[in-house]
Structure formats: C-alpha cells, structure tokens
Amino acid sequence: MVLIHASQAQYAKRTASKGPRALGLLELAANGKAHLIPIAIMSEGKFYDAGAYKAAPVPMALEPQNVYEALRSGVSQGLFTITGVRQLKTNWIAEGTWLPAGSAPAKRAHSADEKPVMGEEAGPPVLRRTPAEKPNPESKPPESKPPETKPPEVKPSSPAPSESSSTSASSSTSSGPTNSAPAEAPAPPDDKDRPVLHRGKPAKRAQGAEAPLATAKAEKTTSKTGSGKSSAPAVLGPSRVQLIPAISDAGGPEPRPYTYDMKAEEEQKYRKKLLALAAEEISTRARQLGGIAPSSTAHATSRARKAGTTVQPSLDDVQLRFFDLSNTNEPILVLTATAHMPRVAGSAPAGELQYFITLVAHADIYGELRKLFSNISDTQHLDAIPRMELIDAVDADGDGRAELLFCEISDAGTAFNIYRVTGDQLWPLFEGTPQ
C-alpha cells in the first residue's frame, strides 16, 4: 500500500485494495436494532452488485459471520456481525448483532455446575484456581503430610505465599494429565479496528451461547448525533433510522476521519457562495421547464429592481457538509436542499413545483469554488431525472481516500451510487439498479 501524503497532487493515481471489499448500508433504529443492506462488492479492482455477487444461494457479502464496520465519515461507530439473511422479493437484507464502538461483548451465562475453562468467548484466558478436592473418609491421611505440619495461615499483609500457591496450583492443574475438563477451541479475537469478510462455514457457537443483543446503553450511544452539520447522520422516515455506510474487508487501509473542520466565519462564506450557486441553478432549471415565462421573468425582475431586490428561489431543508476526502486540506462541499420558485403572475404551473438540488463543489487554497456536480429534479420529473441524496463519504475501493455515496430516488425505486471525486467532476464507480 502506498501512503498518499498531503504534498502530493490531490488527484494522483490511486492504489486500491484488490478486495474482496464489501460495502453495505447499516440501518440503525433508535432502539439499537440494526440490519444491513448490501450495496457493492469490489474484487480485483471491479465493482459488482453485492446483492447478486456469487449468490449460492446467499450472496458472498451476506454470508453468516461476516463482520462489517460501520463508519460515519470515516470514524468507526461499531461492528455488525451477520447472523442470518432474508429475501424480500429480489432484495436481500441481513440480520445480525450490533456492537457499538467502545462497548464490551456480552458475556455468556454459565450454569452453577459448569467449570470455567480457558479460551472461552467471554474474554481473554484467565488462570483460575481449581476447587479443593473433598477428602475421602475411607482413605487414610498421607503420612508425609501430618495435620500438625500445615503451613500457617497467611495474613493479608503478606500476599506473596497465597499468590505463589495459587499460581502453582493453577499451572499444575492446567498442565497435568489428569485434567478431565474438555477445553473449548479459543475464539478468534475481535478486531475492532478492521472488519473481516469471512468465507466458508460460520463458526460454531457453544451450546447456550447467544450473540450480544443491542441494549439500552447501545441505543444511547448510537442515537446521538454530532453537533456540526458535517457529521450529521443520514436518517430515513419518521422512525429516525440512521443510515451508516459499513465496510467488510480482510485488508485495506486503516480508517481515518473524512470531515473538514473550519471556522464559523469561513463556513458562512462558503455557505453564502453555495446558496447563490444553487439559486442560479434552480432558476435556470425553472426557465428550461417553462415554469416561468420570459415576459413574466422580465416583469418580476423589473419590479424587483425597483424594490431593490432580486428574484430568488426559496430554499428549504438546506444541508451543507464539508469533507477532506484525500487528506489535502482542500474541502469538498456538498449541499442538498429543496426549493420553490416565487409565484409570478402569468407563470406556468411548473413554476410552483418543488425542486430538489444537490451540489458538489471543490474549494481551492484561495477559497474559490469549482462546481463538480449539479443535480436538479422536481416532483413531476423523477422518472427522467432521479433525485440524489447524500449518504456519506466512505472509502469504497480501499485506497485510503474516500468516495461519495448517494441514494438515488426516482419513480422506478431507489438505488445506491458511488462517485469518485476528480479534479473537475464526479466519476461514477458503481451505479445500482433501482428497486
């Protein structure tokens, strides 16, 4: 893997992971329950539909015991382990267990007569003292150890003899040939820093062991959102389901944050420029649709000039996020909003449409913006021009730099697209099929 330094060009040649590297979308409810939607899987540098790739019958990306790491703008949120899958018509969905970042795995309950063994799944191996054997009333006490030669009782102030006897008893018990307790196979350690795309049969669990379920503590951990706009999680519907990209890969680079932090005055400067650009794009689109007749536009403009104002669309639900995708300290700005054009006498009905706009721009070291992507749709043309909603930035190809993940919404359904940010445009790496 070649490390990309900030001094290098921002859009230099990439060295991506060979894969397989799977990308999914974790839907995390407020109560801590989660499931995974497969999006894409990369193998040998090529992207495939993760819901169909090597389905025999379950797709490779959704095999049980596959581990996905949920990453919000490159920051780990936790691990999702697949325990089962189900198919809804032509769509696959994975059920599993969610372990928030910083949480300890749930411990397995033991029965009263069960002997603890080393290497269990609840934690690292621990040396334990075996219970003392009960004396046999029919057997005579050994002559070599008369009762009067018992060692004196150890006081709390001198713990060394107790520790020595405990260690020697534990070591002799663990290494002696008379130990009849069957040892369980040690579970592979959980790699919280990187998920693993497992292959083959799922590992067998001991009888009575259950996967850790999401608890109220997990709900508190995952339901919190960042205070800044750049770290706000995507949500879907009134149930406030968080949408978090998730990666499963046995290799690839270490995750890093992709957010770009800036001062409040700098953010306001960029916000003003992007809002002006968005207003211009929407006005142009409205004229193309015939929503505002040229004569009406001229009349409204004349009245606006007299009043000292200009005709501008009304922007609502404005979301502005800043990313540093390639660690070059040059922000990528993504704005999404809805808009309405003001009613003008003599305008066509299309002038009252609701518009959806998504803008992506690159800010250079001088603070100037370069438009990379513009998508404008409306409520009557979703069949021809889908609406684009930003999910987040995620390293889909494993080269250490992030791409932009969008949800495409049209009359045909929804799909997920991955775009690579280049010097002058967004380049599609993967475009899903609407379902």
pLDDT single digits (tens) 146-199:
555 555 554 444 444 444 444 443 444 444 444 444 344 344 445 554 445 654
Residue 366: band (very low, low, confident or very high) from pLDDT cuts 50, 70, 90? confident
Residue 223: pLDDT above 50?
Answer: no
Residue 332's beta-bridge partner residues?
323, 362
pLDDT digits (tens, 9 = 90+) for 91-105: 899 999 999 998 866
Specify whether the CB–CB gap between 402 and 327 falls below 8 A.
no
For residue 306, the SS3 value is helix
> What is the pLDDT at residue 272?
95
For residue 423, the 8-state DSSP code is S
Residue 268: pLDDT above 90?
Answer: yes
Residue 388: pLDDT above 50?
Answer: yes
**C-alpha separations of 208 from 53, 80, 114, 204, 211 in Å:** 34, 21, 12, 12, 10
Residue 14: pLDDT above 90?
Answer: no
The region of weakest confidence among 23-32, 84-93, 125-134 is: 125-134
Residue 23: pLDDT above 90?
Answer: yes
> What is the pLDDT at residue 76?
96
> What is the pLDDT at residue 280?
94
> What is the pLDDT at residue 364?
87
Greater model confidence, 274 or 342:
274
pLDDT digits (tens, 9 = 90+) for 58-86: 999 999 999 999 999 999 999 999 999 99
What is the enclosing helix (H) or strand (E) of 319? strand 314-323
For residue 56, the SS3 value is coil
The CA distance from 172 to 338, in Å, is 72
The region of weakest confidence among 9-18, 129-138, 160-169, 366-375 is: 160-169
How buried is residue 78: exposed, middle or buried, by Cβ count under 10 Å (0-12/13-18/19+)?
buried
* Token pair recorded at residue 320: 């502005």
Over residues 374-399, mean pLDDT: 94
Helix spans in 176-293 (H)? 216-223, 264-288
The CA distance from 56 to 359, in Å, is 40
Over residues 276-299, mean pLDDT: 73
Residue 404: band (very low, low, confident or very high) from pLDDT cuts 50, 70, 90? very high
The region of weakest confidence among 52-61, 209-218, 331-340 is: 209-218
Mean of per-residue pLDDT scores for the chain? 73
Q: Model's pTM, two decimal places?
A: 0.66
**Cα separation of the two ends of the chain:** 36
Contacts of 50 (CB under 8 A, 6+ apart): 22, 23, 24, 38, 39, 40, 41, 59, 60, 61, 62
Q: Is 137 left (phi over 0), alpha (psi -120 to 50) or beta?
A: alpha
Greater model confidence, 115 or 170:
115
Q: Could you please report the per-residue DSSP string of 90-118?
A: TEEEEEEEEEETTPPPPPPP--TTPPP-T
pLDDT digits (tens, 9 = 90+) for 26-64: 999 988 899 999 999 999 889 999 999 999 899 999 999
Residue 347: band (very low, low, confident or very high) from pLDDT cuts 50, 70, 90? low
Of 1-5, 34-38, 114-118, 311-315, give the range with the top mean pLDDT.
Answer: 34-38
Specify whether the CB–CB gap between 346 and 293 falls below 8 A.
yes
The CA distance from 196 to 249, in Å, is 5
Greater model confidence, 431 or 3:
431
> What is the pLDDT at residue 107?
58
Over residues 324-347, mean pLDDT: 84
Residue 330: pLDDT above 80?
Answer: yes
